[in-house]
Amino acid sequence: MAKIGIIAALDREINKYIADFSAERMDNGFMYAGSFAGHELYLTLCGVGKVNAAICTQRLIDLVHPDILLNSGVAGGVSDKLHICDLAISDSLTYHDFCPIDVLEKYAPGRSVFPADEKLIELAVRAANEYHKTEPHFRYLVGKIISGDQFIEDKQKVLAFRDTYNALCTEMEGAAVAHTAYANRVPFIVMRTISDNADENADMSFTEMAAIAAERVSFIVKEMIRLY
């Protein structure tokens, strides 16, 4: 039996897990506890942005000492190979709004890119392939996810992110979760379903597609837990 921490940023992301895992709010009021496939699950809502995500991740680690951390949710697409409702699986994460980024390499923590756990990447790929059997149009890619305290609605920024980082998608919490997990030596992975194209139409398409996107990534998370 493993202790698995699951972190999400928005209500629509965490509510599906609470229902699926029959999770109940713990006395600390900070997280929900449930079980699935013989594992203990601890679910928490971190809120939006890097600081919220880092605080939440550290608090979860301190309270329950999870064996692994999963951060799931939705993101704006950067790669032109991913479309709305496709899945980005992290092999690494970095910040796009930390300037200069090499400060993180010169000082603690000594790196600016945080690698996801290889075993969890393998499980995510297996789970994604399983979902593909039920939805042939579904696609996924493994690669870099970038984070910053910005909701991106600018096509030129997307093109710059593509050129500079070769990123799959951009969102607002993943790199902070990864940074904190790395500092605590907790294996982690970040997964994002593409809910919009991070361009001028982002606000409209996010509202319309986020619920569907969150539903898909919840399937992937459940299958990963089943396989773990």
Is residue 78 a contact partner of residue 158, using CB atoms and an 8 Å limit? yes
pTM of the shown model: 0.92
Tally of domains within the chain: 1
pLDDT tens across 168-218, in order?
Answer: 999 999 999 999 999 999 999 999 988 876 555 555 456 667 677 777 888
The residues annotated with a catalytic role in the active site are: 13, 196
What's the mean pLDDT in 69-95?
A: 92
Q: Which residue has the higher pLDDT, 9 or 7?
A: 7
pLDDT in tens, 97-127: 887 777 787 777 888 899 999 999 999 999 9
CATH label of the domain that carries residue 65: 3.40.50.1580
Region 81-90 average pLDDT: 92
Least Cα distance to 129 among 37, 220, 225 occurs for 220
Q: Which two structure tokens, joined as six digits, stand for 106?
A: 């010169």
- Residue 133 belongs to what domain range? 3-227
Which residues have a Cβ under 8 Å from the Cβ of 118 and sit 6 or more positions away? none
Least confident of 66-80, 82-96, 210-224: 210-224
What's the helix, strand, coil split of the chain in %, to 5?
40, 30, 30
User: Is the model more confident about 164 or about 107?
Assistant: 164
Fill in the amino acid letter for 191.
Answer: M
Which of 209, 186, 196, 152 has the alpha carbon at shortest distance from 57?
Answer: 186
What is the C-alpha to C-alpha distance for residues 189 and 120, in angstroms, rounded to an integer? Answer: 6
Mean pLDDT of 125-130: 96
